[in-house]
Structure 1
Amino acid sequence: MPLLKALQWLAPAALALHLLLAAPLLLAHAQPEGSLPAHGSTVSGSPNRIAVWFDHPMRLTLFEVSGPRGVVPLTQGPGRDALTRFETSPAAPLGPGRYTVRWRGLAADGHVMADEIYFNVR
């Protein structure tokens, strides 16, 4: 009987400890930290690189740049690896206009994250 009473106390305590230790992981959604070009910026001439970076690893499932002439061909698309920074280049120089970068990814905690940034080329 003493063993049964100990087990009745131990199970809830183990569950509480597990939830306490897992809580920071559950709250750790990956958030964008910055981009290149910076969101809302105006750059002189076509940028050589287009990048976005995050505070936690993320597996990108979409990275698309579009502008005045539609979707921009890029030198590299997202892969399967989780990363904190994704960087690519336009396959051809970008002409003047407003460009939108759309990304979507899967954070380590399983949440789908997505956002858009824009920049202008003059």
Structure 2
Amino acid sequence: MKTIIFAAALTLTTSALLAHSNSNETTPQEGAIVETVEVIELRFDMPMRITVITLTGPEGEVELTRETGLEPVPEFRALLPEEVVVGGYKVDWRGLSQDGHPMQGTFAFTVGD
């Protein structure tokens, strides 16, 4: 009986872990050095509802324009202002996976000359 309960618990735990969305790729890529950047993109293996996204640069927070609304999507896009200054940038995001679990992540890149 204990074996059956353990197997059921393991199956439920494994299924729950597999249900969360994972960030597969970002634009710019983590650690990239780019000449310019026009868009922030997050790509997931399952739809994700991005509820908060911030971009912080050398002069503080950078205003982003969401191209993607609040609906769950496998690819999120936000546009940057036309001019960004040289320096390091950090993207922080939070959202809800398709199964309703809160998710968050961060990545950084550098804009160089």
Larger Rg: 1
Q: Could you list the per-position Cα deviations for residues 6-55 of structure 1 after superposition, in whole angstroms to 9, with x for gaps in the alignment?
A: xxxxxxxxxx8xxx7x77752311000010000011001x2122111111
Structure 1, unmatched stretches of 5+, are: 1-15
Query: Pick from 87, 93, 97: which aligns with 1:103?
Result: 93
Q: Could you list the per-position Cα deviations for residues 56-110 of structure 1 after superposition, in whole angstroms to 9, with x for gaps in the alignment?
A: 1111111111101111111226522001111121123111100001110001122
The number of residues matched between the two structures is: 102
- The one-letter code of the counterpart of 2:110 is N
Q: Do the aligned residues in 2 keep the contact of 1:73 with 1:92 (CA within 8 Å)?
A: no
Q: Identical aligned pairs, as a percentage?
A: 34
1:54 — aligned with what? 44
Q: Check 1:77–1:65 CA distance in 2 against 1; reply closer, same or farther (3 A cut).
A: farther
Structure holding more strand per residue: 2
TM-score, normalised via structure 2 length: 0.80
1:36 — aligned with what? 27
Rounded Cα–Cα distance in structure 1 between residues aligned with 2:13 and 2:106 = 29
Structure holding more helix per residue: 1
1:92 — aligned with what? 82
The alpha carbon displacement at 1:120 in A equals 0.2
1:67 — aligned with what? 57
Structure 2, unmatched stretches of 5+, are: 1-7
Rounded Cα–Cα distance in structure 2 between residues aligned with 1:70 and 1:82 = 28
> Does structure 1 residue 117 correspond to structure 2 residue 107?
yes
Structure 1 outlier segments of 4+, above 6 Å: none
